[in-house]
A and B are shown apart, each in its own frame.
Chain A
Amino acid sequence: MTPQEVSVLFMDDEIHDTQATIVRDAVAALRQQGYDVTAVEKMSDAMDEFYRKFYKVFILDIDMSHVDDVLSQAGERGTRVAEDYRALDNGTAVIMFSAMGLVDDWVRVVNRHIFGYVHKGDERAIDRLVDLVATAAASDTRGLDLPTPRRSGQVLVCNAGASRFDEPALAQQVQAAGDFTPVFCTLGEMAERLTQDDFAAALLLADRFETRPAVLAKVDAVCAHQATPNVVIGCQGSDQARASILHLINARPFRLVNLLAGDAATALSEAVRDAAYWYGGNECFRAESRYVHRAAQNVDWQKLDEQFGASSEFDDDAREEEQP
């Protein structure tokens, strides 16, 4: 796919602000690469775009308070729009581009399986964004090997320094997820173990992951094994750990659990169960009913019928049910 064939939606409340150099330069850099970029400054406009056109990539900011809009008036932020896009999933790669992001935002969006996150305040932020868009544009999830949902089996667990959980406590949480047996290993061994044995899920925890490349490369190697098995990562969600957490987001684990949350233990169990039970399709996220209704209204059912012909299977079933 050439850049010209890739449509990009760019949402930022400072899109028309002449002082917002980073935003303007980012849009310019993407256009310079040849991408077909549509820029919007309101969250409601971005939602409208969802129904108007398919975008391969959706780049969005989190804080959208500088522009008056029905959604910003209601206290909503970009994370909400990202969630809605993922809930109404049409295959668009969602990338956050923000200087605002905080722990809540990170955990929220990573668990909606966004494609990536670039912090505007980081060095070479625009280069990173352009690289990520190129990766998203080149990615095709249709060839994904889908796993079989697992109700039992082994779960590979690595505690790389999560002080709240010792081995028995982690074993308890894994067993609480279902008929699963925990197998413990070190971070150094983890990726290799995933290739050697059959695991229903993998669980990797640390209070705070170090930002050393040696450590992060191991984390990436573990996540690269997905979807067989899916990987759950737990770490303490603190703004101070931004560097490592953003790296984790970009490694795209199946779930990221904030170990500082009061319900972290239960959340870990639930995440392990979800990771193992994953049926292979996109996860179903709860979409707002008004957006679902709107999507349904926009569908021209008659045209679809004409295009594809009425589904004889379903019609036959319906006719049979109607028979006295």
Chain B
Amino acid sequence: MDEATLFKESNKLFITCQYEQALPLLRQYDQLEELTNLKRLRNKRNIADCLLDVHRGRGEGDWAVEFRNNLQQYWQLLEQVNPTEISPQPLLAFFAVTLEFHLEVESLEQIGDKARATYREFARRSPKLESGILKVRDAEFLDVVVAEIERERRNFARPDHARRAARLAEAMLEELGDAERFRPHRTAINNLLADLAYFFPLSSEAENERYKRVSGYLEQALQASPHDDFAKIFKSHVDRLAATTLQIKRFGHDTKNRLANVRQLLERLERQVAAGSELHQTVLAVRREVRGLSLLGRLVTSEQPPVEDLQEIDPIELVWPLLQERGWPASCLQRVGTPGPWELYPDYVRIALENLLRNTVEAYGRHHIELPPEPCRITIDYEARTLAVRDWAGGVDPELGDVFAPYVSSKGVRDNTGLGLTQAREALEVQSPKFRLELAEPQPQGGAEFCIHIPILPLP
């Protein structure tokens, strides 16, 4: 192919982003002796683009050597072309591609040094007009640096993108030093570093250390630009968050310590009082309440159940006492299949069932239906591993939407905590994501039916 055809074909592929097909043609074009420096210069930029795009994610290799050689040749050519013929945009684009190359290929330790060296080379070789004006100024290169840090910050496909972005940012901050003319860029880079430190914490870093680091970057940003609203608002938010977190931790610590003390005192009491005495019964009741309190605390924060609480238990042992407590007849309970134990956390399943039964009673009252002799029917299906709770209390209002969402309730304002079903579902899911609470499909006429699924859990 002659020069014109090669140029046309390679460019057609290049501008339609068919980089893999364009690359061999661009290489071939690069070998032509009759090319002007300017044409060769443009072609080298296109080669760099293609090389990076085709080999992205493959790490160091022959292509990286080719990229570096191509870059060296580009820099040499840059000094040989007429500055008036150079457009700043392609030069800045090549600078951006080179920074991307460093982020792609260099080790974490090397990114900073390589990026700084590249910045210096581009800035040094930026074509100068006869008037002494640079075709591309430092500030324009730095705009590219800021954009590249931002791009890498969001480059979620690369597992260590945040660390790479931070390395580039820190190195460039060092490069800028305290020069007055770089104040806006120092602010922008410090703001990006604060963002990275906040949203991508290091595995070895404690929360308070992270907040300190974020606040430090923002402080630097504000020193460079005292009126930068982003830094101002972010810093006040982080400082407040750090103080609040500390207070919550203290509160959590004191509460847990006190609860531990109460539990310990009750253990002492239990040892001291005669077994079977009335006081002994009271101590046991208080212990149960304390245990319930801990359980609720864990549910509110979606905390995993304790290891030792898991039991193999026939669900009838959970259901029957709940019916007895309410004075409801044995006919409320049905069993399907061969009875046997299920592996579950009894306290959590009990809470879910209690909430469902409480809802049932409230529903009868709300719909002005007298509590029937058999207010509900709980069916334990040992084969399907389900507990179905059905009532005749008027049914669930379809207008409510997702009844398991917090604060969705058909109850009046007076009773409206709206957390009953949410908590019931949470009590099941916190045991295992495979444990579920659902509205049965279809809903029975004039009543509601909920279904609890407690499947056998395989090993992961």
The interface of chain A, by Cβ under 8 A from chain B, is 14, 19-22, 25, 63, 65, 75, 79, 99-100, 102-105, 107-108, 111, 120-123, 125-126, 160-161, 169, 172-173, 186-188, 206, 208, 210-216, 218, 239-244, 247, 257-258, 260-267
Asked if residues B303 and A263 are in contact (CB atoms below 8 Å), the reply is no
Taking residues whose C-beta sits less than 8 angstroms from the other chain, chain B's interface range is 35 or more
Known: A123-B291, A216-B307, A263-B203. 6 other contacts (CB 8 A): A20-B261, A79-B206, A187-B460, A243-B305, A244-B307, A260-B201
Does B256 have its Cβ within 8 Å of any Cβ on chain A?
Answer: yes
Asked if residues B260 and A120 are in contact (CB atoms below 8 Å), the reply is yes
Return chain B residues, CB-CB under 8 Å to A22: 257, 260-261, 263-264
The interface of chain B, by Cβ under 8 A from chain A, is 108, 159-160, 162-163, 196, 199-208, 249-250, 252-253, 256-257, 259-261, 263-265, 268, 291, 294, 301-310, 343, 432, 457, 459-460
Return chain A residues, CB-CB under 8 Å to B202: 261-263
A107 vs B210: C-alpha distance in the bound complex, in angstroms? Answer: 15
A187 vs B302: C-alpha distance in the bound complex, in angstroms? Answer: 25
Residues A123 and B203 in contact in the complex (CB < 8 Å), given A161-B460, A213-B307: no
Asked if residues B459 and A188 are in contact (CB atoms below 8 Å), the reply is yes
A228 vs B308: C-alpha distance in the bound complex, in angstroms? Answer: 30
Return chain A residues, CB-CB under 8 Å to B459: 186-188, 214-215, 218
Could you pull out 7 A-B pairs where Cβ atoms are within 8 angstroms? A79-B206, A100-B252, A104-B205, A123-B263, A123-B308, A210-B457, A263-B200
Residues A121 and B294 in contact in the complex (CB < 8 Å), given A265-B159, A267-B203: yes
Asked if residues A123 and B304 are in contact (CB atoms below 8 Å), the reply is no
Asked if residues B460 and A262 are in contact (CB atoms below 8 Å), the reply is no
Residues A21 and B310 in contact in the complex (CB < 8 Å), given A240-B301, A262-B201, A263-B200: no
Asked if residues A20 and B460 are in contact (CB atoms below 8 Å), the reply is no
Asked if residues A264 and B203 are in contact (CB atoms below 8 Å), the reply is yes
Asked if residues B203 and A243 are in contact (CB atoms below 8 Å), the reply is no
Return chain B residues, CB-CB under 8 Å to A63: 249-250, 253
* Residue among A21, A122, A172, A214 with the highest chain B CB neighbour number at 10 A: A21
Partner of A206 from the list B163, B257, B460 (CB cut-off 8 Å) is B460
Return chain B residues, CB-CB under 8 Å to A262: 162-163, 196, 199-202
Asked if residues A107 and B203 are in contact (CB atoms below 8 Å), the reply is yes
Asked if residues A100 and B261 are in contact (CB atoms below 8 Å), the reply is no
Asked if residues B206 and A65 are in contact (CB atoms below 8 Å), the reply is no
A280 vs B226: C-alpha distance in the bound complex, in angstroms? Answer: 53
A212 vs B309: C-alpha distance in the bound complex, in angstroms? Answer: 9
